[in-house]
Structure 1
Amino acid sequence: MALEVIILAAGMGKRMNSQLPKVLHPVACVPMLFHVIKTANELNPAKIHLVLGHQASKVQEALTKLDSPLQEKITISIQEQQLGTAHAVAQALPKLGADSQVIILYGDTPLTPKVELEKLLTALESCELSLLTSEPKNPFGYGRIIKDEQGNFVGIVEEKDASAEQKAIREINTGMIACRSSTLSSYLSKIGNNNAQGEYYLTDLSSLLVKDGKRVCPIKADPNNVDMLEGINNKVQLAFIERIYQQNLAKQYMMQGLTLADPSRFDVRGELEFGQDCFIDTNVIIEGKVSLGNNVVIGTGCVLNNVTIGDGSIISPYTIMEKSQLKERTTIGPFARLRPGNVLEDDVHVGNFVEVKNSNIGKGTKSGHLTYIGDSDIGAGTNIGAGTITCNYDGANKHRTTIGNDVFIGSDTQLVAPVTVEDGATVGAGTTVTKTVPANCLIVTRAHAFTKANYQRPTKKPKK
Structure 2
Amino acid sequence: MTTRPVTPSCIPGLGVIIMAAGQGKRMQSKLAKVLHPVAGKPMVLYVVELACRLADRGVAVIVGYQGDAVRAVVEAADGRVAVAEQARQLGTGHAVLQARPIFAETPAGRPSRYLILNGDTPLLTETTVRALVALHDERKAAVTLLTAVLDDAAGYGRVIRRRRDEWREGSPENAVETIVEDTDASPEERLVREINVGTYVVEGEFLFPALDRLDPRNAQGEYYLTDIVRQAVRQGQSVAALRLPSIEEGLGINSRAHLADAERVIRRRIRARWLEAGVTMRDPDSAWIDAGVTIGRDAVLYPHVTLEGRTVIGEDSTIHSGVRIADCVLGSRVEILDHCVLRDSRIEDDAHLGPFVHLRPGVLIRRSAKVGNFVEMKKTELGEGAKANHLSYLGDATIGKGVNIGAGTITCNYDGAHKHRTVIGDRVFLGSDTQLVAPVTVGEGAVIAAGTTVTQDVPADALAIARAPQVNRAGWAAKRRALLAGGESLPAANKPASSKAGQPRKASRKSSGKELPRRPR
* Structure 2 CA distance for aligned equivalents of residues 210 and 236 of structure 1: 37
Q: 1:324 to 1:3 in 2, by over 3 A?
A: same
Tell me the CA shift for residue 295 of structure 1: 2.2
Structure 2 CA distance for partners of 1:258 and 1:318, relative to 1, 3 Å = same
1:210 aligns to what?
233
| 2:62 is equivalent to residue 87 of structure 1 | no
CA contact (8 A) 1:136 1:227 kept: no
Counterpart-to-counterpart distance in 1, 2:345 and 2:47: 31
Change (3 A) 1:139 1:260: farther
Q: Kindly state the Cα deviation for residue 397 of structure 1 after the two structures are TM-superposed.
A: 4.0
- The alpha-carbon distance between structure 1 residues 206 and 268, as it changes in their structure 2 partners (threshold 3 A), is same
List gaps (5 residues or longer) in structure 2: 1-11, 105-109, 164-172, 481-489, 503-521
Counterpart of 1:78 (choices 86, 90, 97) is 86
Q: Counterpart of 1:120?
A: 132
Distance 1:167 1:266, change over 3 A: farther
1:176-255 matched pairs, under 5 angstroms? 176-223=199-246, 226-255=247-276
- What SS does the aligned partner of 2:47 have? helix
Q: Does 1:135 align with 2:149?
A: yes
Question: Deviations for 1:387-444, whole angstroms, at most 9, x for unmatched residues?
Answer: 1011233344443323233332111101122323333332221101122334444322
Q: In 2, Cα distance between the equivalents of 1:310 and 1:211?
A: 62
Q: Residue 291 and residue 189 in structure 1: after superposition, are their counterparts in 2 closer, same or farther (change >3 A)?
A: closer
Residue 104 of structure 1 corresponds to: 116
Q: Cα–Cα, structure 1 residues 79 and 440, in superposed 2: closer, same or farther, change >3 Å? A: closer
- 1:42 is aligned to 53
AA at the equivalent of 2:112: S
Name 2:160's counterpart in structure 1: 146
* 2: CA distance, partners of 1:137 / 1:369: 59
In 2, distance between residues paired with 1:168 and 1:252?
39
- Matched to 2:391, the amino acid is L
Query: Are positions 1:413 and 2:421 aligned together?
Result: no
Give 1:14's aligned residue: 25
Q: Determine if the alignment matches structure 1 residue 299 to structure 2 residue 320.
A: yes
Asked whether the equivalents of residues 120 and 252 of structure 2 are also in contact (C-alpha less than 8 Å), the reply is yes
- Alignment partners' CA distance in 2, 1:348 and 1:111: 42
Give the letter for the 1:135 counterpart: V
Is this contact kept in 2: 1:289–1:305, CA < 8 A? Answer: yes
Q: Distance in 1 between matches of 2:130 and 2:32?
A: 29
Q: CA deviation at 1:133?
A: 1.3
Contact 1:79/1:91, CA 8 A, preserved across alignment: no
Kindly indicate whether the alpha-carbon contact (under 8 Å) linking 1:47 and 1:75 is maintained by their aligned counterparts in 2: no
Q: 1:255 to 1:136 in 2, by over 3 A?
A: farther
Deviates more, 1:198-207 or 1:392-401: 392-401
Partners of 1:49 and 1:77 within 8 A in 2:
no
Q: What is the DSSP-based 3-state SS (H/G/I as helix, E as strand, rest coil) of the residue aligned with 2:272? A: helix
Of the three residues 2, 22, 36, the one matched with 2:13 is 2
Does the 8 Å CA contact 2:63/2:83 hold for their aligned counterparts?
no
- Opposite residue 128 of structure 2, the aligned amino acid is E
Q: Give the aligned CA root-mean-square deviation in angstroms.
A: 2.6
Letter in 2 for 1:328: D
Letter in 2 for 1:129: V
Distance 1:276 1:61, change over 3 A: closer
Q: Helix, strand or coil for the counterpart of 1:359?
A: strand
Count of paired positions: 457
The alpha-carbon distance between structure 1 residues 316 and 457, as it changes in their structure 2 partners (threshold 3 A), is farther
* Aligned counterpart, 1:26: 37
Structure 2 distance, partners of 1:289, 1:314, is 19
Q: 1:423 to 1:96 in 2, by over 3 A?
A: closer
Counterpart secondary structure, 1:96:
helix
Q: Taking structure 1 as reference, are residues 203 and 344 closer, same or farther at Cα in structure 2, changes over 3 Å only?
A: same
The TM-score with structure 2 as length reference comes to 0.81
Give the conservation status (yes or no) of the 8 Å contact 1:367–1:385: yes
Residues 74 and 81 of structure 2 are in contact (CA less than 8 Å); yes or no, is this contact kept in structure 1? Answer: no
2:403 equivalent among 382, 385, 401? 382
State yes or no: 1:360 paired with 2:374. Answer: no
Identity, % of aligned pairs?
A: 39
Structure of higher CA gyration radius: 2
Letter matched to residue 380 of structure 1: K
CA distance in 2, matches of 1:15, 1:327: 46
**Any stretches of 5+ residues in structure 1 without a counterpart?**
none
Q: Deviations over 1:319-342 (max 9, x none)?
A: 122332222321111221122333
Per-residue Cα deviation, 1:133-162 (whole angstroms, up to 9, x for no partner) = 123454332222222232222222222333
What amino acid does structure 2 have at the position aligned with 1:100?
A: S
In the alignment, is residue 458 of structure 1 matched against residue 470 of structure 2?
no
The SS at the match of 1:65 is: helix
Q: What code does the residue aligned with 1:213 have? A: G
Cα deviation for residue 304 of structure 1 reads: 1.6
1:293–1:310 contact (8 Å) kept in structure 2: yes
- Note the alpha carbon deviations across 1:158-203, whole angstroms, 9 max, x for none: 2233345444433221111111232123322333334333332211
